């Protein structure tokens, strides 16, 4: 199954992760895998949230199958997991499906 995301969702990789989340912005990063059923359920919810253009928040994804080092470094044990980063630091973590309203609360 290929990844299909809106252009408003950034895809982070090992080579871009640290520089992106460390740039001073707020990031909501979804850790997912294409073989994960709940992750596929989360995708349209995340796209809807990103399309709402949450003020001051960059929405991003990390495919843990392609980027296992990032998942290991952050201790991702279950997916989907969403982490909010501010100024490169983790401030909040949510594991499991999240509705758009829950995503908005995460980044408040």
Catalytic residues: 36, 39
With beta carbons less than 8 A apart as the criterion, state whether 49 and 100 touch: yes
Of 82, 85, 84, the closest CA to residue 30 belongs to: 82
Compute the Cα dihedral for 45, 99, 12, 16 and give only its sign.
Answer: positive
List Cα–Cα distances, 79 to 19, 47, 55, in angstroms. 23, 17, 26
């Amino acid at each position: 199954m290929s990844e299909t995301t809106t252009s408003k969702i950034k895809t982070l990789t090992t080579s871009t992760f640290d520089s992106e989340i460390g740039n001073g912005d707020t990031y909501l990063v979804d850790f997912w895998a294409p073989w994960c059923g709940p992750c596929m359920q989360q995708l349209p919810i995340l796209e809807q949230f990103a399309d709402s253009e949450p003020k001051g928040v960059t929405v991003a994804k990390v495919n843990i199958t392609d980027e296992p080092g990032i998942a290991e470094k952050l201790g991702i044990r279950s997916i989907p997991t969403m982490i909010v980063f501010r100024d490169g630091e983790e401030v909040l973590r949510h594991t499991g499906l999240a509705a758009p309203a829950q995503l908005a609360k995460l980044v408040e």
